[in-house]
Amino acid sequence: MKKYLLIILFICSIPSFCQQNQLLYHMHYLGESNFLNPAVQSTCKWFIGIPVLSSIHLNYANSAFSVKQLASSERNRVFDANTGNKLLNRRLFIGAEFHTTLLALGYRHDDFYVNFSIIEKVNFPLTISSDAFGLLWNGNHSYEGEIADLKGSASYFNYYREYALGVSKRNANDTYFGIKGKLLFGKLNFSTPSSNLALQTNESSYNLTFNGDVHANISLPVNIESDNSGIQSIEMQEEIDYVKLLLNRKNWGVAFDAGLIIPYSDEITLTASVLDLGFIRWRSNQNIIQGSGYFYYDGPLGNSVISENYIDDLVGAFTDSLEITATQNAYTTMLPIKTYLGLKYEINRKLNANGVFSTVIYRSKIISALTASIEYELLPNVYALGSYSLMYRSFKNLGLGFSLGRGPLQFYMISDNVLGLIWPLATKNINLRFGLNINLGCNIKTPGDRGRNIPSLKDACKVFDDRTKRINRKMKHHR
């Protein structure tokens, strides 16, 4: 059982996060854009996200190669240290996300906008050092006489539910400031700090020297039995109460968002936001696994005859040399911090040019993306967008998006890389977000609001008063 544990730790100790919301960031007529900048106010008095259907977000990203490239004969020849560093830039990033909004509400009163949302979030990112990938892909013969450095590999699988309450205020100078507080409840987690492992292969004998340490934090429905000699067994719980798992509130945490919208000139608007400044404390089904040791192996390698159980024997011998312990202590994981900087240039009343630079920060790893986009209002409340992005060390990221309607129904679909939906095996990332909203009280526009069309309660009263006066005049005329 220890050897299977080691394989899990090795693969999953192999930090990363994907982030693709570049087009959505400037679509302020969508209530979901408030998820990325809490200063954004709905363009209607009421915003109601249809449960589950208001926002479904899927994303996959790979910073090194596409599936088609990996399967090509060129990549199948030799994957040595030099090839690995050139292709992976020292680390391979793989990430996946799935977010769905269970409930979203927003209400605007005068210059204030209050919003509430419940979102299910599943994030599963990995980073693998180029040497670690070379070992997995091509064995250790590419590292003869060299040390395969596995440092920097880490993982972060996280499933949690987010309850968010935010408020945004419009100031007299037409600037907006928003802040949002989040209450988090973790459901499942598997996270590893950055690993410290190294493998050396003797150039003449192929003997292996392996040393370092492994560490994993686990909050999963598993039973781990251990004693003074180490871990004896790891098994899934026989009967998993999924309702209890989904309603689990023991793993709570908090986070905060903040954002700004600043009118720099009549044509230029600047935006900035920082998201997910927070943590989750894991207190249920928790296990902390640690292991360290030094291992020297002189078994059959090179041109020698290797038995079909060779890998099992090698892993088993290594795990026997490790001192692996498991404790049931609570632990804390930090959320990856996300930042956005945006610029919108109003070319004319219907056409805007946008730019956004975003980063995801976790531990010492920073993943950035840069996007330029064009937004055009084809018809009243019908928007089409196109974008080009530099992200995940890829230049092939063409995005498309559209939004239909404003109220009472609004449908939208966005992809920061539509090529990934057309040729999924030939691209490094696949991204899609779509949803259906209900907007009420959208028939009022505030003059001079720089194209954001945000309703005003004073204007609503004025329209109501004018309509009442017209009705009274008609009744008087008929009399």
Q: Is the model's pLDDT at 302 over the cut of 60?
A: no
Higher pLDDT, 148 or 353: 353
Query: What confidence tens digit (pLDDT) does each residue in 116-173 have?
Result: 999 999 998 777 766 666 655 555 555 555 555 666 667 788 999 999 999 999 998 8
72 or 61, which is more confident: 61
* pLDDT digit string, tens, across residues 278-287: 999 999 988 8
Cis peptide leading into residue 51 (ω within 30°): no
pLDDT of residue 81: 46
390 or 435, which is more confident?
A: 435
- The pLDDT-based confidence of 351 (bands split at 50, 70, 90) is very high
Give exposure, 42-71, as e/b (b: 16+ Cβ within 10 Å).
bbbbbbbbeeeebbebbbbbbbbbbeeeee
Task: Choose the weakest-confidence range: 20-24, 39-43, 153-157, 306-310.
Answer: 306-310
The tens digit of pLDDT for each residue in 205-262 reads: 556 666 667 788 999 988 877 766 666 677 788 788 888 889 999 999 999 999 999 9
Interatomic CA distance for residues 34 and 219, integer angstroms: 31
Q: Which of 118, 66, 126 is nearest to 96 (CA)?
A: 126
How far, in Å, CA of 264 to CA of 352, rounded? 15
CA atoms of 149 and 137, how far apart (whole Å): 15
Q: What percent of the chain has pLDDT over 70?
A: 63
Set out the domains of the chain in order of their start, with CATH numbers. 2-442 (2.40.160.40)
Which has the closest alpha carbon to 129: 145, 147, 117, 110?
A: 147
| Main-chain dihedrals φ then ψ at residue 5, nearest 5 degrees | -60, -45
Give the integer Cα–Cα distance in Å for 168 and 67: 43
Least confident span in 13-27, 51-65, 328-342: 13-27
Dihedral through CA 422, CA 427, CA 428, CA 433, nearest 10? -10
